[in-house]
């Protein structure tokens, strides 16, 4: 009888422990979801001064202001954030982190696909060569973005359109393609409807200096008159899942 009582007590204690753990897990999940919902509801809204678009962003991003090359060429708008964009953020050097709206051929911030897909780097090319380069680069789409993200070289210089270029010019173009894009390693590249969330590791070289960096963020492919809305940045440390989720939510909020 004593043995049976002890067994019964052990079973009851076991059930109580399991129930307590389950209840605690339920409360944790419920509170996490509630916190997430509250956070999103408390986000600030940015409305373009010309009323062309709007999007939401968390208060932790800081104050929005005009970003780099805002309104220049196919870069319709660029918005930087005081506590999220370029600078020393959370103890580490951050590059990029601007919300950018583009039209036309999709170019990507912070050399996320190398210099040839970066609007600022392309400014170094003469107009004719720049036009030929863009005409022969693979046009980025929701279907091929992840594949192109993994490549170190994107342009086929053996095409006849480049026959008149000297070897020195061809070498320069190859070098531009590798800017912040040496030895790319894609950690993740997730497609959800019209948005891609990605993270890649690359080697960046400047003179004798060399460092391994993380480039990450989200890009949403849009219908005309725009072509993309993106939020991309680079840091030495890998991004947390929370940062990637937040960046994706900002991009998805574009209207």
The per-residue pLDDT for range 201-252, each reduced to its tens digit, is: 999 988 778 899 999 999 999 999 999 999 999 999 999 999 999 999 999 9
Whether residues 75 and 185 fall in one domain: yes
Cβ neighbours for 46, distance < 8 A, ≥ 6 positions apart: 54, 55, 56, 57, 64, 79, 99
Region of 21 please: left (phi>0), alpha (psi -120 to 50) or beta.
Answer: alpha
On whether both 76 and 146 belong to a single domain, the answer is yes
Q: Domain range spanning residue 64?
A: 44-252
Question: For 18-59, what is each residue's pLDDT tens digit?
Answer: 333 333 433 333 334 333 444 677 899 999 999 999 999 999
234 and 132 belong to one structural domain: yes
Phi-psi region of 97 (alpha: psi -120 to 50; beta: other; left: phi over 0): left
- Do residue 122 and residue 196 come from a single domain? yes
- Same domain, residue pair 20 and 49: no
Residue 2 has pLDDT above 90, yes or no: no
Rounded to a whole number of angstroms, the CA Rg of the chain reads: 24
Do 20 and 56 fall within a single domain?
A: no
193 lies in the same domain as 214: yes
Query: How many domains would you assign to the chain?
Result: 2
Q: What is the pLDDT of residues 81-101, one digit of tens each?
A: 999 999 988 788 899 999 999
């Amino acid at each position: 009888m004593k043995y049976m009582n002890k067994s019964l007590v052990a079973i009851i204690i076991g059930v109580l422990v399991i129930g307590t753990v389950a209840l605690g897990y339920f409360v944790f999940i419920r509170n996490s979801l509630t916190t997430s919902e509250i956070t999103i509801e408390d986000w600030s809204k940015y409305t373009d001064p010309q009323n062309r678009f709007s999007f939401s962003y968390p208060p932790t991003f800081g104050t929005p202001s005009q970003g780099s090359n805002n309104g220049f060429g196919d870069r319709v708008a660029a918005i930087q954030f005081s506590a999220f964009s370029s600078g020393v953020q959370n103890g580490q050097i951050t590059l990029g982190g601007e919300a950018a709206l583009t039209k036309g051929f999709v170019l990507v911030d912070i050399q996320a696909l190398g210099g040839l897909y970066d609007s600022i780097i392309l400014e170094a090319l003469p107009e004719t060569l720049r036009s030929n380069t863009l005409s022969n680069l693979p046009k980025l789409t929701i279907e091929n973005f992840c594949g192109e993200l993994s490549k170190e070289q994107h342009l086929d210089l053996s095409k006849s359109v480049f026959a008149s270029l000297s070897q020195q010019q061809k070498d320069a173009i190859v070098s531009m393609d590798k800017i912040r894009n040496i030895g790319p390693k894609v950690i993740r590249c997730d497609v959800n409807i019209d948005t891609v969330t990605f993270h890649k590791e690359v080697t960046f070289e400047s003179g004798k200096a060399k460092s391994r960096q993380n480039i990450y963020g989200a890009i949403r492919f849009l219908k005309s008159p725009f072509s993309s809305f993106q939020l991309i940045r680079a840091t030495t440390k890998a991004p947390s899942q929370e940062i990637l989720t937040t960046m994706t939510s900002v991009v998805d909020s574009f209207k």
